[in-house]
Structure 1
Amino acid sequence: MTAGPVRVVLADDQPLVRSGLRLVMADHPDLEVVGEASTGAEAVQLVSETRPDVVVMDIRMPGMDGIEATRQITTGPTATRVLVLTTFDEDDYVYGTLRAGASGFAVKDMALHDILAAIRVVAAGDALIAPGVTRRLIADFVGHPLRRSPRPVAGITEREREVLTLIGHGRTNTEIAEDLFITVATAKSHVSRLLTKLDARDRVQLVITAYETGLVTLPA
């Protein structure tokens, strides 16, 4: 993240959503909207032109949707980070968007200050999944058996396996430390080693790995 304000592109086909976010961000000098897009294709073009730090991306847009736009934006030369902002209850494409490279997922009914906080978290290089979303994301994933290809997690220790399972359940480093009776610093070290060993870009990819390997399942 740069030393100046976080440069943001807003991609949503609803002008009211974009206007609302822009107005709110105008009151926060550490956030700057550098462009708006109403389609995925426009978002990809804007990223190329403005090189923002974060794209706040809706999924359902005309033409190129948010999933394909996210894939192009996160794998392009700028490798801009993407925060998905959508209506989860009406969207079956969350998993696909995360697989496409999104660094975070937030829902539109979150408090505005939480959405702004999510933008800052993603801009800082962290990954974020909105509170309450992880369990439903798991439910969506396991509800589609054809998506699942359970496989063992090779090359990690038993403790790292425990940490990965907790990450899959949406636990923070502090919560992991409490659950395993270790320090927060130790929990962070385990997470860092998992990122390296599993060649994961960020925490979101670790969550996906926990799903794919069957470490995380729905409660009976």
Structure 2
Amino acid sequence: MINIALADDESLFLETLSFMLDRSPEFNVLFTATNGQEMLDQLADCVFMPDVIVTDLKMPVLNGVEATKKMRASYPDLKIIALSSYDTDVFISNMLGIGAASYLVKNAKAEEVYTTIRQVHEKGFYYNDKLLRILHENSQNQNFKKSALDSKMISEREKEVLQLICKQFTTREIADELILSTRTVDRHRDSLLAKTRSRNVAGLVAFAIQNSIVDLKK
């Protein structure tokens, strides 16, 4: 079961989303919040942390953008999905740049919501075709500045692992594809995170795409 926390200042939408998720045996809504500060306060009191957080962007007291920055700083392992009525490249690029694992619009169909949460929980991120396009088109964006990392620092095996991570393979699928143990895949992923100074898998994928380390057309 995937434990979820939700933040949105629109009561009806929040209640509807919570009900929609709770009715599925696959998901469990741990708690809800009506603004970013309330989300942070509840996280501070958590005995069991949520697996995935879904947060609106426009909220009073503390908006979702600032809340995401604070959550990424205090809880780097949290997987955060941005939620908004605005389906624009600027909003999406900004949220991916500060560490959101995916982006949902409020008029998304239920199955798209389920899929996004599943993928983020299992793989650490979920980029559909639109999100991938935005990553490619925003290589000069200040949130995705190219690094001076020497590509020779990344081994050929690490590049193979990274290629499959960017194609949204699970650890088990990568292990099967490359005939490795899952522990070895985890070691390569951790090494890639350290070398690229990425704080999570979503950041690692963004780094790889923006620096042309991988070719997703392969």
TM-score, L = length of structure 1: 0.71
Aligned twin of 1:56: 54
Say what the alpha-carbon RMSD is for the aligned residues.
3.7
Q: 1:207 to 1:146 in 2, by over 3 A?
A: closer
Aligned twin of 1:149: 146
Kindly, what percent of the aligned residue pairs are identical?
Answer: 23
| Aligned-pair CA distance for 1:10 | 0.9
Mapping 1:83-162, distance limit 5 Å: 83-87=81-85, 89-90=87-88, 92-124=90-122, 126-139=123-136, 141-142=138-139, 144=141, 147-151=144-148, 152-158=150-156, 160-161=158-159
2:39 to 7, 20, 43: 43
Aligned twin of 1:23: 19
Task: Give a deviation string over 1:108-158, Cα, whole Å, max 9, x none.
Answer: 34331231233234344x212242233332255236368533423352124
1: distance between equivalents of 2:130 and 2:187? 23
Q: 1:30 to 1:132 in 2, by over 3 A?
A: same
1:75 to 69, 73, 76: 73
Aligned twin of 1:193: 188
| Aligned-pair CA distance for 1:204 | 0.9
Q: Secondary structure at the match of 1:118?
A: helix
Aligned twin of 1:208: 206
2:177 to 174, 181, 184: 184
Write the letter of the residue equivalent to 2:139.
Answer: V
Aligned twin of 2:5: 9
Structure 2: gaps of 5 or more residues:
none
Q: Secondary structure at the match of 1:16?
A: helix
Write the letter of the residue equivalent to 1:32.
Answer: N
Q: Secondary structure at the match of 1:89?
A: coil
Q: Figure out how many residues of one structure are paired with residues of the other and give that number.
A: 207
2: distance between equivalents of 1:61 and 1:113? 25
Does the Cα contact within 8 Å between 1:10 and 1:56 map onto a contact in 2?
A: yes
Q: 1:215 to 1:155 in 2, by over 3 A?
A: closer
Write the letter of the residue equivalent to 1:137.
Answer: I
| Aligned-pair CA distance for 1:192 | 5.3
Q: 1:6 to 1:216 in 2, by over 3 A?
A: closer
TM-score, L = length of structure 2: 0.71
Structure 1: gaps of 5 or more residues:
none
1: distance between equivalents of 2:209 and 2:34? 32
1: distance between equivalents of 2:78 and 2:161? 28
| Aligned-pair CA distance for 1:42 | 1.6
| Aligned-pair CA distance for 1:24 | 0.9
1: distance between equivalents of 2:78 and 2:132? 27
